[in-house]
Amino acid sequence: MSCATSEGSGWRRRQPSGHEGGGALSEARRTLDALVEAAQAGRPVVLATIVRARGSTPRGVGSRMVIDPAEGLVGTIGGGCGEAQVIA
């Protein structure tokens, strides 16, 4: 089975600004910052959140991704086919 991934969808991942480094805390902060920025600008965005997972998954429950048509993607819910379906 093949699918179009988010990388091939025309969406771009927003580069972190001001919160360098990895880890869940910095990713959560980037997600929150993106939501606040969009709200302040009056832009509608989508917050995708994994609420349940079965078996082996690339990201766990609680993983989040902001889908902002104006600014791109922030965070990830696992990439690949699943993420592409959420974006579509």
Instruction: Note whether residue 12 is domain-resident.
Output: no
User: For 70-86, b where at least 16 C-beta lie within 10 A, e where not — what string?
Assistant: ebebbbbbbeeebbbeb
pLDDT of residue 17: 54
Count: domains in the chain:
1
pLDDT of residue 12: 73
The pTM of the full predicted model, rounded to 2 decimals, is 0.76
Rg value, the chain, Cα: 13
* Domain residue limits at 26: 20-87
Instruction: Note whether residue 10 is domain-resident.
Output: no
What is the secondary structure of 58-85 as a DSSP string?
A: SS-TT-EEEEETTTEEEE-S--HHHHHH
What are 44-85's pLDDT values in tens digits? Answer: 999 999 999 999 888 999 999 999 999 999 999 998 888 999
How far is Cα 66 from Cα 6, in angstroms, rounded to an integer? 13
